[in-house]
Every structure is written in C-alpha cells, then in structure tokens.
A and B are shown apart, each in its own frame.
Chain A
Amino acid sequence: MCLATVYIEDDGQREEVMQDVAWIKPANGGLQLTTLLGESKLFQAQIESIDLMNSLIVLKRMATNEDTRGRV
C-alpha cells in the first residue's frame, strides 16, 4: 500500500507513530506528517529510511536543546 506507516527510532527502540501517512514536509526544523484523512503531527526527527516496497518510513529522533538539557 502506497500510504506509509511511520516509525520513529529513539535510543535503539523503534515505535510506530502514525499510519496512512500521505504527506511529509519539512517544518520548524523537523518533519510534519499528515495522514490521508488530515491528522497532522510534527516530529523533531529526520528520515532514517524509506521502504517503498513495504510502505514503511523510519524516522530518527533528533536531539533538541530541550532533549539535550534533559539528559545533562
């Protein structure tokens, strides 16, 4: 199926975050994902891989200033 299921990787863990994603746009330093029906979410992440055969997209979470502060 052409619409994608999107996973996000963080600290080696992979978690499904959205299904039926139709559009992806860069936004606010991250990625804005929108489903066919219009649900939209912003992730501070970059694309790790796109698998068009299996309609899977994996994102990798980027360390934000807030994330960095939290870990220090």
Chain B
Amino acid sequence: MKKVSVCGKGGSGKSTVVALLARGVRDRGYRVLVVDSDESNPGLYRVLGFDKRPEPLLGLVGGKKKVFQTFSEEPESSKSILTQEKIRVADIPGDYIVERDGIGLVCIGKILQSLEGCACPMGVLNREFLKRISLQKDEVAVVDMEAGIEHFGRGVEASIDSVLVVTEPSFDSLELTEKINTLAAEVGVERVWTILNKIGSREIASRLREELEERGITVIGSIGYEPEIFQSGLEGRPVRRDRMETDIGRILDQLL
C-alpha cells in the first residue's frame, strides 16, 4: 500500500476513516501524507488534529482566476513544483503542507464562492499530483477523495494502488459501492476493498457483508456505530480511538 484512495457516498464517513487510518498507519512506523481531495468539506485538518489548514495546491498554478496579461508572460505555474516529473514530500513548499507527529496534510483546492465555476481544474490537479508524488519506502499517501464517482471520470485513480470504499448501511451506499468497484477495476486498480461503517449490530454487519459478497465485493473490516465518532464530528476534533483500535487494527493488517 503506497497510495490509497478512500472513496464512498457523501456522509458515509470517508474523512473519519482517513483520519483513523492515517494515525494507525503512522503508529505502525510509516510517515503519512494525507491528500485532501474533497473540494467541499472544510474540516479535515481539524479531524487530523491540526490547528490550521494548508494553502490549496491549486494556488501553485495561480488558482482559477489566473489570466495572462501579455502573450509573452511566462505562466507562474511553469516555476512551480507541479511541473516536476516526480515530486517528493520534502519538495512541497511550507505554506502548502502542515505536518505534525509523522502526518502531513496537503489540500488540492476548495470551492470558495458561488458562481466560481466547476471543479475541473481541481480534478486534473488531483490526478497529476497523485501521479507525480514520489513516496519513499516508509511513506504512505492516504487520499480523502471527493464524494461520489466523478473522480473516476477524470482518471484520478490511475496512479492509485488501493481503493478503499467506505460503505454505510443504506441502499444508495451499497449501490455506489458496487459502482465504485466496477469503475476502479476498469481503471486498473488491483486492490479494491470495502470497509463497513456506522454498523449498529452484528445482524446489520452480517446482512451488509452478505449483500456485498453476493456482488463480488471484498469486505476487509467494519467500524461500529460509535457515539464518540459523532461527538468528535460535531465538535470538529480528532476522534478518540480507544474503542476503535481493534477494528482499525484488523483493517490495517489487510492494508499493510
């Protein structure tokens, strides 16, 4: 597992899973780069325990408002790290990454105002950044992907080693999980796994597993319906992992 993308329906718990995985992977001796690829949700930095968010990488290409003033003007982006074939974590300028205790966070870009247009540039930047980021043996990238499946249409997963789908107990989530499995296989991702989330009982877990296995989907773990997750989500703070340690440990055993 070098580059793992966490996908799923909106509200299924992707950011929570990303935070739990990032801390779990770090605790097993890796340095972790979390890539915030969701152009909407603003709070991942808080869930990871940072007190400020990094500048969006979109700023390195001038942002969406960039306009050339003259024909001869050289684009600012031609001088940025994003033109490098390979980008090391150490190459990322300080304003564009926040780091603490073995976990770094970068952000592709956010929609900031109404009528600013679509998120296409963020999708392309996400795809190219994930392709070019060059990880050392002890580094792992965990991507908090935007909700839904549009990113597959953009080819973002082309350089991803593993796709983890977060599935909650709902019909839409099951349907989307199956769709993501199909799309990821089409892109050529070899490891596509599912994590069940918000699981309130063993019966629900069994039923979901049966439904997914009938669809040929591999489930590698399950996270319970924990009040602490909802409490921390409401407060915008890191989740206390005590009760989830065993669940996350089992998932990491499969991933690493």
A→B interface (CB under 8 Å) = 1-3, 20, 22-23, 25-28, 32, 34, 36-40
Contact = CB atoms under 8 A, between A and B. Distances in A.
A38 B71 contact: no
A37 B120 contact: no
Interface of B: 61, 66, 68, 71-72, 74-80, 82-83, 117-118, 120-121, 123-125, 128, 153-154
A66 to B, nearest CB: 21
Contacts of B128: 20, 36-37
A50 B61 CA distance: 24
Given A1-B153, A23-B68, A38 B80 contact: yes
Nearest to A28: B71
Given A1-B154, A27-B71, A32-B71, A38 B83 contact: yes
Contacts of B154: 1
A36 B125 CA distance: 8
B68 A37 contact: no
B77 A36 contact: yes
Nearest to A2: B120
B247 to A, nearest CB: 37
Given A1-B124, A2-B118, A23-B68, A34 B75 contact: yes
B87 to A, nearest CB: 11
A71 B154 CA distance: 41
Contacts of B76: 38
Given A38-B83, A40-B78, 6 more contacts: A1-B120, A37-B82, A38-B77, A38-B79, A38-B82, A40-B75
A34 B62 CA distance: 13
Contacts of A27: 71-72
Given A1-B153, A1-B154, A36 B121 contact: yes
Contacts of B74: 40
Given A23-B68, A36-B77, A3 B82 contact: no
B121 A25 contact: no
Given A3-B121, A36-B77, A37-B61, A25 B82 contact: no
Contact of B124 (A20, A25, A32): A20
Contacts of A2: 117-118, 120-121
A23 B66 CA distance: 10
A39 B84 CA distance: 11
A36 B61 contact: yes
17 contacts: A2-B117, A2-B118, A2-B121, A20-B128, A25-B68, A28-B71, A34-B75, A36-B77, A37-B61, A37-B80, A37-B82, A37-B83, A38-B61, A38-B78, A38-B82, A38-B83, A40-B78
Contacts of A39: 78, 83
B4 to A, nearest CB: 24
